């Protein structure tokens, strides 16, 4: 009897272990949560935050944007013939920050230049369509936001080409300028990109270091104190705190008499665009927190 009981228990144990073995376990199918559609129309629920005074309005600037592609390979600012500046936004489009920023810009008639990441364009094409429809310029910021200065020429061309195609597929327009992630592009790479795509490399002369998230008031203060005629201002719409800083920043610049244009308009002004001798070094970095 004892021997029979042991045999029975042994049989049950074998069956239990067999049922728990990896070979017998049923495959696990991951659940797929539906991705909500991205809202690409105007965000009517958003209201521009109150500032210290009435919201300013950028005057209509009907200036040419066809710049001379032989006029320079790299720019950090432009010798503008007046108080004209270009504000640029990197690392978008972002699902919520970019539409909110577009509302802020539209309320002030400000036209900006957006240096977009190709893979994000593929994720949110409707936001890019809205950006173009509202008169802003789109620039090439690579497809994967990798440090281009460490890549071969073929890889750099691939990053540029994939992003250009993504932008065109989303909006029907092609970028005319590029900005390397982290500002990192060697001089020979800048020349190669210019020769291949006609893109001048656009850097900046005003960097509030908003990627460090110092607070919206600090971002505003740094931009207001550093901007001068012909400046190219670097901001990231990837960060909500940077977008929070924009109402006060834009109004403050307008009160100081500056007028906003796109990067291409800035380059085209009166044929006076010259590459700045003070541009960041070819391998210089600016962070984005990613």
Contact 81, 231 (CB under 8 A): no
Q: Which CATH class is domain 74-271?
A: alpha beta
Residue from 141, 236, 239, 286 carrying the catalytic annotation: 236
Could you tell me the residue ranges of all domains in the chain? 74-271
- Give SS3 for 75: strand
Considering the chain, what percentage of its residues have pLDDT values greater than 90?
70
Separation of alpha carbons 115 and 138, rounded Å: 6
- Hey, which bits of 173-265 come out as E strands? 201-202, 232-236, 259-260
Would residue 154 show up in a list of annotated catalytic residues for this protein? no
Report pLDDT for 141: 98
From the candidates 90, 205, 244, 251, which is the catalytic residue? 90
| Per-residue pLDDT band at 20 (split at 50, 70, 90) | very low
- Is residue 56 classed as helix, strand or coil in its secondary structure? coil
Rounded to two decimals, what is the model's pTM?
Answer: 0.78
For residue 155 the two structure tokens come to 């890889």
The rounded distance, in Å, linking the Cα atoms of 19 and 37 is 42
pLDDT band for position 17 (cuts 50, 70, 90):
very low
Question: Is-catalytic flag, 236?
Answer: yes
Cα–Cα distance for residue pair 83/23, rounded to 1 Å: 72
Residues 6+ apart with CB under 8 A from 220: 245, 248, 249, 252
**Ramachandran bin of 198, using left for φ above 0, alpha for ψ from -120 to 50, beta for the remaining angles:** left
3 token code pair: 């021997």
**In this predicted model, what pLDDT tens digit does every residue of 101-158 receive, in sequence order?**
999 999 999 999 999 999 999 999 999 999 999 999 999 999 999 999 999 999 999 9
pLDDT at residue number 249: 98
Over the stretch 170-228, which tens digit does the pLDDT of each residue have? 999 999 999 999 999 999 999 999 999 999 999 999 999 999 999 999 999 999 999 99
Given this model, what pLDDT does residue 87 score?
A: 98
Residue range 256-272, pLDDT digits in tens: 999 999 999 999 985 64
What is the structure's pLDDT at 56?
Answer: 87
């Amino acid at each position: 009897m004892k021997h029979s009981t042991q045999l029975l228990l042994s049989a049950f144990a074998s069956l239990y272990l067999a049922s728990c073995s990896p070979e017998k376990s049923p495959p696990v199918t991951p659940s797929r949560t539906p991705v909500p559609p991205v809202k690409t129309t105007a965000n009517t629920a958003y209201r521009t935050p109150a500032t210290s005074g009435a919201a300013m309005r950028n005057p209509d600037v009907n200036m040419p944007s066809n710049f001379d592609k032989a006029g320079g390979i790299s720019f950090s600012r432009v010798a503008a013939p007046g108080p004209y500046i270009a504000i640029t936004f990197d690392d978008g489009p972002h699902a919520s920050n970019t539409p909110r920023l577009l509302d802020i810009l539209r309320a002030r008639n400000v036209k900006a230049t957006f240096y977009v990441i190709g893979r994000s364009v593929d994720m949110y094409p409707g936001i890019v369509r809205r950006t173009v429809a509202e008169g802003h310029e789109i620039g090439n910021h690579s497809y994967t936001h990798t440090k281009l200065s460490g890549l071969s020429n073929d890889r750099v061309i691939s990053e540029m080409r994939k992003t250009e195609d993504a932008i065109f597929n989303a909006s029907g327009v092609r970028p005319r300028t590029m900005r390397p992630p982290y500002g990192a592009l060697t001089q020979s790479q800048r020349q190669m990109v210019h020769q291949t795509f006609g893109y001048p490399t656009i850097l900046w002369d005003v960097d509030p270091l908003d990627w460090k998230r110092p607070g919206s008031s600090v971002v505003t203060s740094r931009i207001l104190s550093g901007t001068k005629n012909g400046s190219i201002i670097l901001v990231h719409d990837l960060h909500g705190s940077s977008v929070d800083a924009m109402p006060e920043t834009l109004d403050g610049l307008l009160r100081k008499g500056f007028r906003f244009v796109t990067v291409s308009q800035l380059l085209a002004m009166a044929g006076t665009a010259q590459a700045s001798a003070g541009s960041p070094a070819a391998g210089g970095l600016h962070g984005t927190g990613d």
